[in-house]
Amino acid sequence: MRNAEIPSLHPSTRLIPSRKRIALVAHDNQKEKMASWASKHRTRLIEHELYATAHTADIIAGVLNAPVFRFLSGPLGGDQQIGSRIAESRIDVLIFFWDPLGHQPHDSDVKALLRLATAWNIPNACNAATADCIISSPLFDAEPQAVGEFPNQKSAAEVAPTWTRNTAIRAKKVNLPKTSLY
């Protein structure tokens, strides 16, 4: 249940503060890249509140000589802790250097975290090039603003009835039961 003091906003409508709450996550073989990226952007990063999963937090705090809020290790719930904060509008940016070629024991948590960042419309980067674009954007320093849906974009509530109706029509055409998962 949401805190009564915090207004419930649609995931794509949220207030982005000028002092950002930035979550930094890096898989083991990406930690060196994250440390290098953070060092390169030290001046910008220390102006904001930094959050990271366990070992990444230790590395970033050392590189930046700045405080970093430490979550659990990713596989032990840290990814989920960050995801929870995203859903509560308490993380504004996600920089997640994940390993695209390696198998992670917590792949489902990784996918869930990236899904939440996208669903809640927060800037997120999975590599140094995209992270550079985010942190160097003039919008990054903008005054607090509401990030909302595009004027002509349909909400999920508007799309769902159409999708359900069209799915039912297609199901009839191919003689599949309406409860089919396909």
Distance of CA 117 to the CA centre of its chain: 3
Helical ranges in 41-175 per DSSP H = 42-45, 54-64, 78-87, 107-119, 128-136, 156-173
CA distances (Å), origin 182, targets 22, 94, 170: 39, 33, 10
Quote the CA–CA distance of 149 and 152 in Å, as a whole number.
8
- Pick the catalytic residue from 58, 79, 99, 107: 79
Spatial contact of 96 and 124, defined as CB atoms under 8 Å apart: yes
For residue 79, indicate whether it is catalytic: yes
Closest CA to 122 of 134, 111, 133, 132: 134
* Residue numbers annotated as active site: 79
